[in-house]
Structure 1
Amino acid sequence: MTTPPVPAPPSWPIQKAVYARLTGDPQLADLLAGGVHDYTPEDTPYPFVVVGEAIDTPDNRHGGYGWQTVLTLHTWTRAEGNGQAFAIGARLTALLDHQPLTLPGYDHLVTRYEYGQILTDPEPPGDIRHLVLRYRIVTEQPT
């Protein structure tokens, strides 16, 4: 049996698919004055979401190749308290956790919410909230 050549890790197609999913959702758009970005212009209004870093790890199986990609999303707000960040995070998770993704060149197996942490900017005036969310996306080489 001949194994097809190894495709590149899927982080770029994943980022594009997640960006399309997030920017195409009217409920999320209603929560974000500044939108969704992979690069954030300096004058972007709060709140906004950044599609951030990705880590690809091989997850091969007998006769094929697979990956686990951990994608980080960053939510930034200036609201008092954590409520706004958590509401945005809940919508992000509803859009991604155990939801199918179309990834050209890869079979998407599952996306799982993995981690969330709220941080407060310690610099004066200390009014920026940063919610870090991580999702594990499992893919494999098409059969």
Structure 2
Amino acid sequence: MADPSLALQGVIYPRLQADCPSVSGRVYDRPPQAVVFPYIGLGEVQIVDDSADCIDGVEAFITLHVWSRAVGQVEAKRIASEIHSSLNGAELDLGSAWQFHLIEHRSTNYLSDPDGVTTHAVITFRALIDAR
């Protein structure tokens, strides 16, 4: 069985590029050395078995990171809101290997980084997926 996080990343990445104008397409799996702020980073993914009789399912927890150097938290909160609007309750097509059921927002945390200038938002979503 293929890793469902690859299918999720494959649909989430372009969706965020299109739906989050505040980052002007700056959505990264790994940001470049000379990254321009603000941007969204694709973060950690946890896959939890959710199988039942005759169903090969998983629960996927996807973490996205917003990085902003604007003064205060307003920019990070605006971007987090764009992410929420883009993904929460979205219908995603994961291709022929996976049957998508839902994606829902679980939490958002806003942090001030120790550098004193960067605001960091950590946004977590939960998705339910079955193998076809």
Residues of 2 paired with 1:51 and 1:107: CA distance? 22
Residues of 2 paired with 1:56 and 1:12: CA distance? 11
**What is the percentage of aligned positions where both structures have the same residue?**
27
| 1:102-133 Cα distance to aligned partner (Å, 9 max, x none) | 1021011000100110111123xx01000000
Aligned twin of 2:17: 23
SS state at 1:88 partner: helix
Say yes or no: does 1:11 pair with 2:11: no
Unaligned runs of 5+ in 1: 1-6
After TM superposition, the structure 1 stretch with the greater mean CA deviation from structure 2, 102-111 or 8-17, is: 8-17
Say yes or no: does 1:113 pair with 2:99: no
One-letter amino acid of the structure 2 residue matched with residue 72 of structure 1: T
Offset of 1:86 from its aligned partner?
0.6
**Which of the residues 64, 75, 87 maps onto 2:55?**
64
Residues of 1 paired with 2:25 and 2:112: CA distance? 19
| 1:65-112 Cα distance to aligned partner (Å, 9 max, x none) | 100010100000011111110110001011000101110210110001
SS state at 1:87 partner: helix
Pick the structure with greater CA Rg.
1
Aligned twin of 1:81: 72
| 1:16-53 Cα distance to aligned partner (Å, 9 max, x none) | 1100211223xx13x01571110100111110001111
TM-score computed with the length of structure 2 as normaliser: 0.94
Residues of 2 paired with 1:112 and 1:77: CA distance? 24
Residues of 2 paired with 1:67 and 1:33: CA distance? 32
SS state at 2:83 partner: helix
C-alpha contact 1:9 1:67 (8 A) present in aligned 2: no
Aligned twin of 2:33: 42
Higher strand share: 2
C-alpha contact 2:49 2:58 (8 A) present in aligned 1: yes
Change (3 A) 1:34 1:19: closer
C-alpha contact 2:47 2:60 (8 A) present in aligned 1: yes
C-alpha contact 2:68 2:118 (8 A) present in aligned 1: yes
Aligned twin of 1:4: none
